[in-house]
Chain A
């Protein structure tokens, strides 16, 4: 039994390889097209067809009957209170639930529409009007006060950050978000420095801000169970040409940087969101008796079995063998009876061998592999484990020799007794 997520992944992966994918960019301010032109040109150079539309365009159409007109969606419309055309809040969520990717960018004044949309994806934005502020380590600049921040709190995942290897600090000015500690889908791609906190600018801080101490999330990523990836960023400026090309800056603590990492970061994160990296594919899941090929319907208790599967990773549009030492398989009946590490052979084939536990029942091979930035693998395959047949037990037990002896001695004694009793009068 392979979960539908997996099938969706394959389909998503296949669509990635199609030549030109259509990206719809929704803007609430037409100027963004020019102020953020570098970001969009980077995307175009990656081979995307970009369609700019105003968020309030009356002819806006995302879906034609059951067919999505665009594969990807980028929203730079923090203040949009309403989308034009056929797009409502539900349409966006439907878009995501159908497995399509989106990048949603807001700023410190997100509309209620944007806030609730983002909340339904699993990211909670700070209240309207708040700004992420850092009185200790802000970036010195003429106009931004203490709210321009340089963050280096990156997620430890090459799958997300890709070629953004120099890890230069990211300039950020906008609203912070937070992810529920119970969320299993959302991750913080870019966090805030420990000294940053979220508050209404210009107001006295009279109670502890909730989002502080590094809990604030600046850029969040969500991998929905439909396979869709959504990136939510709290700053529109972060993607702007101005930050992309900033020649150098200095923070309040005196650190000087020659450039900001925004351009590479934004590009790579968008690549991740658009399924260009960190996509895993499972094929050839099989199990069999040790040393055999065919896959049986059932095992007997204490049988030896081998289990294997192929995992490939999408890199630059082609599937390459996945290499990791942390993939595990569990053999579960209510509880995991066996949990084994899978070895791989550098060709993407992962395998292990173990003994079936001495408990019969319906078991599942379970692969539950969730690594930040990679598509989560959640597979289960059912197999029955049956007890010994009546003729599979040992025929003669050493422990039972006294009983065999007693049986035969009694028989012999009875025979002798009968003989003596009958003929020895």
Chain B
């Protein structure tokens, strides 16, 4: 069911890849299937981040790509001649099915089979997860959530059984998680929290040691061998917590061991000795670590993690992280739309888990609490919360159903013990509605769950709605077939992955936002007057500029709406770009009260070039922008250094050519010339 639920998008918009990041993953997967594992590892991609290039092998989380690559190879080995694209499209739904299984196993391990089943059912249809794992959403999260839940399951299994085999299996699953998604740092921080909580609540057992210690050691080693993580696994602050808990765990075990072998008096003496020396030693190490951490400007944290701990950090210092809509804090209603019934059942499940409080259920409680916090900081991490919410909701629903059915069964048993048969017949259906109402709920969830992927496709990938707007693919196809192969396309970074994957052209910046300065340069060019922008682009060898314009059909996430971020990001590096110059009366607006710098800047010109006449035909008003619902501030937009070469059917994709330097130098400033005007006689 989890699998089929996610195929509606294929039915609706054919088997295509949606959104931005999946296109990059798709492209890398193609590279993997063509060039092989080692070439991918060493891949230096020279058509992105021109002219810096990107070492893809060392900067990508390869789990998803390996997965798709392996599936592709296996299918081909079985003589199933399938296209890479189909493999990529169906990877996420497949793994969401696995994820449901993993959720079943996890909750079964904690609360038994019934709770596991309900949790798996929730997992299969939680909208937040559906939106990220519909067919065509070929993104890291698609497999990473499965890996996340699976690691938790193996950890809990190891915790329950105390078996080294399960613990090693957890370490392997952790390797897969690290390879798949940067969110692995959630695991490496959650496990220590659980470990510490267990120690301090007196639940220290050999099982905990077996579950935790090998995972940390092996996991760190494994993480360090994934190129993109590398030495970060021991150098970045995200991982220190794990080592800290590792130390505490050993100390606690040592204390217990000593307590066992020494008489009480000697133990007390030894305890003070060990504690004082231990405290001194630990404080020395802590000082060293602190010193190391303080020496880096972000205290050793990566920007993204820091913005999690201090939600205001990104908006203050790293506009590029804050600019991504996924990184905004979610609105309250989104908890209900994203989690549906799970959000209501969650607290009940949380409470249910306290009776009885086993180490395993403690783990689930901690998981849920931390995930709630993180999801409150970033919309994107709602995805981490989703499995937790499902598990809790599963537990709650199971408890509720168990209580209900206990009543029903008890009643039935009472009735069966009594002779009258009609009564039993009359009563029996009464249990059915209860079941039926539960099952009939499912399509309800999926009905409401389904609009989410369509939404994503329409507003973010632009691949469809009731009228299918295929402008993006139209524009990229134009680039692919009408520009020289060494053309360099400048666009805002959102479209970088798609341009490289669909148009196969070199781009300046893409969604792998590793170089803020380079992005700021593009932002600066877009925010500069035409001539300066032209000079910047010429210096970067840009031949074409691509802008996304939604004013014609009312597509809201276009470049004009993203423009303030370009200004902020550009201004963060180049102080000559000031946000207040672009704000008109009462904020950001594009009508005749807009900021003067906005009306002069390249982005405005490229978006509204020739638009005034075109909108007269469709809206009956000169230059009426359907997204902003205003008449634009400047009708006669003329271009001197750029030439329009392509505008898609619904004007969503507009491509301009950066003109060569003119053949002649005309109108250069010449202080020595009066340029034909009669000379003013200043003295007479």
Give the segment of B212-220, B390-398, B555-563, B660-668 that binds chain A.
B660-668
In the complex, chain B residues whose CB is within 8 Å of the CB of A169: none
Q: List 24 A-B contacts (CB under 8 A).
A: A96-B664, A120-B666, A122-B665, A122-B666, A122-B668, A124-B670, A124-B675, A127-B676, A178-B673, A180-B668, A181-B670, A207-B679, A210-B674, A224-B663, A225-B662, A225-B664, A360-B44, A362-B506, A364-B51, A380-B541, A384-B53, A386-B44, A386-B53, A390-B57
A161 within 8 A of B: no
In the complex, chain B residues whose CB is within 8 Å of the CB of A384: 44, 46, 53
Partner of A210, one of B53, B55, B667, B672: B672
- Give Cα A340–Cα B402 distance, bound, in whole angstroms: 82
A119 within 8 A of B: yes
A361 within 8 A of B: yes
Assess the A298–B676 pair: CB atoms within 8 A: no
1/0 contact string of B15-56 vs chain A (CB within 8 Å)? 000000000000000000000001001101010001111010
| A225 and B51 in contact, given A1-B486, A127-B677 (Cβ under 8 angstroms) | no
Assess the B52–A115 pair: CB atoms within 8 A: no
- Give Cα A147–Cα B307 distance, bound, in whole angstroms: 76
| B interface size (C-beta, 8 A) | 40
Interface residues of A in 279-303 (CB under 8 A from B): 298
| A210 and B668 in contact, given A224-B663, A361-B53, A362-B53 (Cβ under 8 angstroms) | no
CB closest residue in chain B, given A380? B541
**Chain A residues with a Cβ under 8 A of chain B:** 1, 4, 93, 96-97, 112, 115-116, 119-122, 124-128, 178-186, 206-207, 210-211, 215, 222, 224-226, 228, 298, 333-334, 360-364, 380, 382, 384-387, 389-390
| A207 and B683 in contact, given A124-B673, A180-B665 (Cβ under 8 angstroms) | yes
In the complex, chain B residues whose CB is within 8 Å of the CB of A185: 664-665
B669 within 8 A of A: yes
Please give 15 more A-B residue pairs, beta carbons under 8 A apart, in addition to A115-B676, A386-B46. A97-B663, A120-B666, A121-B664, A121-B666, A182-B665, A182-B668, A207-B682, A210-B671, A210-B673, A210-B679, A211-B673, A363-B51, A364-B541, A384-B44, A386-B42
Interface residues of B in 476-507 (CB under 8 A from A): 486, 506
- Give Cα A119–Cα B667 distance, bound, in whole angstroms: 8
- Give Cα A409–Cα B69 distance, bound, in whole angstroms: 40
In the complex, chain A residues whose CB is within 8 Å of the CB of B55: 360, 387
Interface residues of B in 649-669 (CB under 8 A from A): 660-669
Chain B nearest CB, measured from A419 CB (Å)? 21
Assess the B661–A225 pair: CB atoms within 8 A: yes
Chain B nearest CB, measured from A4 CB (Å)? 8
In the complex, chain A residues whose CB is within 8 Å of the CB of B437: none
In the complex, chain A residues whose CB is within 8 Å of the CB of B677: 127
Assess the B663–A96 pair: CB atoms within 8 A: yes
Chain A nearest CB, measured from B555 CB (Å)? 33
B681 within 8 A of A: yes
Assess the B486–A382 pair: CB atoms within 8 A: yes
- Give Cα A360–Cα B540 distance, bound, in whole angstroms: 16
B575 within 8 A of A: no
Chain A nearest CB, measured from B669 CB (Å)? 6
B333 within 8 A of A: no
B79 within 8 A of A: no
Assess the B50–A362 pair: CB atoms within 8 A: yes
Assess the B664–A122 pair: CB atoms within 8 A: yes
Assess the B670–A179 pair: CB atoms within 8 A: yes
CB closest residue in chain B, given A116? B676
- Give Cα A362–Cα B45 distance, bound, in whole angstroms: 10
In the complex, chain A residues whose CB is within 8 Å of the CB of B682: 207
- Give Cα A181–Cα B669 distance, bound, in whole angstroms: 8
CB-based closest 7 A-B pairs: A124-B673, A386-B44, A180-B668, A180-B670, A384-B46, A226-B663, A362-B51
Assess the A119–B666 pair: CB atoms within 8 A: yes
In the complex, chain B residues whose CB is within 8 Å of the CB of A126: 673-674
Assess the B675–A119 pair: CB atoms within 8 A: yes
In the complex, chain A residues whose CB is within 8 Å of the CB of B53: 360-362, 384-386
In the complex, chain B residues whose CB is within 8 Å of the CB of A385: 53
In the complex, chain B residues whose CB is within 8 Å of the CB of A362: 46, 50-53, 506
Partner of B665, one of A184, A389, A390: A184
In the complex, chain B residues whose CB is within 8 Å of the CB of A186: 665
CB closest residue in chain A, given B679? A127
* Residue among A4, A112, A122 having the largest count of chain B Cβ atoms under 10 Å: A122
Assess the B684–A206 pair: CB atoms within 8 A: yes
Assess the B678–A183 pair: CB atoms within 8 A: no
In the complex, chain A residues whose CB is within 8 Å of the CB of B660: 4, 225
CB closest residue in chain A, given B662? A225
In the complex, chain B residues whose CB is within 8 Å of the CB of A360: 44, 53, 55
- Give Cα A237–Cα B443 distance, bound, in whole angstroms: 96
Assess the A182–B669 pair: CB atoms within 8 A: yes
1/0 contact string of B536-571 vs chain A (CB within 8 Å)? 000011000000000000000000000000000000
Chain B nearest CB, measured from A335 CB (Å)? 10
CB closest residue in chain B, given A333? B51
- Give Cα A186–Cα B51 distance, bound, in whole angstroms: 32
* Residue among A210, A211, A226 having the largest count of chain B Cβ atoms under 10 Å: A210
- Give Cα A333–Cα B668 distance, bound, in whole angstroms: 29
In the complex, chain B residues whose CB is within 8 Å of the CB of A112: 676
Chain B nearest CB, measured from A122 CB (Å)? 4
CB closest residue in chain B, given A209? B679
In the complex, chain B residues whose CB is within 8 Å of the CB of A333: 51-52
In the complex, chain B residues whose CB is within 8 Å of the CB of A206: 681, 683-684
Assess the A215–B665 pair: CB atoms within 8 A: no
In the complex, chain B residues whose CB is within 8 Å of the CB of A298: 44, 46
In the complex, chain A residues whose CB is within 8 Å of the CB of B227: 390
| A387 and B673 in contact, given A127-B679, A207-B683, A362-B51 (Cβ under 8 angstroms) | no
- Give Cα A334–Cα B664 distance, bound, in whole angstroms: 26
CB closest residue in chain B, given A178? B672
In the complex, chain B residues whose CB is within 8 Å of the CB of A182: 665, 668-670
* Residue among A93, A124, A179, A380 having the largest count of chain B Cβ atoms under 10 Å: A124
In the complex, chain A residues whose CB is within 8 Å of the CB of B57: 390
Assess the B668–A211 pair: CB atoms within 8 A: no
In the complex, chain A residues whose CB is within 8 Å of the CB of B684: 206
Chain B nearest CB, measured from A201 CB (Å)? 14
Assess the A228–B676 pair: CB atoms within 8 A: no
- Give Cα A119–Cα B665 distance, bound, in whole angstroms: 9
Assess the A127–B663 pair: CB atoms within 8 A: no
Assess the B673–A389 pair: CB atoms within 8 A: no
In the complex, chain A residues whose CB is within 8 Å of the CB of B46: 298, 362, 384, 386
Chain A nearest CB, measured from B617 CB (Å)? 32
